[in-house]
Amino acid sequence: AEGDPAKGEREFNKCRACHMIVADDGTEIFKGGRTGPNLYGVIGRTAGTEEGFRYSPALVAAGEAGLVWDEENIIPYLADPTAFIRDHLGDSGARSNMTFKLARGGEDIVAYLISVSE
Ligand code: HEM
């Protein structure tokens, strides 16, 4: 489904407690917390590779196994990060450090993330 970036920007308020969006040149696109990694350019990025952020072993393993975030896979990840990572790794004991779950509106957030990262 095609997302609406304007709606996604409003929806991003659900993420801001833990995530900021800061461009490579330091421009602050969306102010937020540091519990989660900077989401600038996350679509197209290998999972678990934002410089300097301490990820769960599970997300690092998923990235090493080839997980690259795209418009499709990020939707089920947001809906249930631990279930997504368990399924991806085939490891029922894996755990995500992202405890938040987004029930709906993922495609709008994805459209917003892409629109600010170009
Ligand atoms: C990781 C998106 C809300 C905490 C991630 C990743 C994405 C993401 C794409 C993987 C990044 C990467 O591989 O570099 C979002 C979006 C949110 C949201 C779009 C809102 C809809 C939250 C909230 C929290 C949080 C509210 C804190 C309560 C984290 C943490 C990680 C993470 C700790 C690292 C996970 C790990 O190491 O396993 N998030 N997130 N996120 N997020 Fe979120």
* Structural domains of the chain, ranges and CATH numbers in brackets: 5-116 (1.10.760.10)
Q: Identify which of 10, 21, 91, 98 to mutate to test ligand 1's pocket (most ligand atoms within 8 A of the CB).
A: 98
What value does the mean pLDDT of the chain take? 96
Rounded to the nearest angstrom, the gap between the alpha carbon of residue 20 and the centroid of all alpha carbons in its chain is 11
Side-chain-facing half-sphere of 52: CA atoms under 13 Å:
3
What is the pLDDT, as a whole number, of residue 71? 95
- Say yes or no to pLDDT of 1 above 70: no
What is the pLDDT, as a whole number, of residue 51? 93
What is the pLDDT, as a whole number, of residue 93? 97
> Residue 7: which H helix or E strand, with range?
helix 5-11
Q: Which residues have CB under 8 Å from 7's CB, separation 6+?
A: 105, 108, 112
Take residue 78 and report the two structure tokens written for it: 């947001």
Q: CB atoms < 10 A from the CB of 77, how many? A: 23
- Say yes or no to pLDDT of 43 above 80: yes
What is the pLDDT, as a whole number, of residue 41? 97
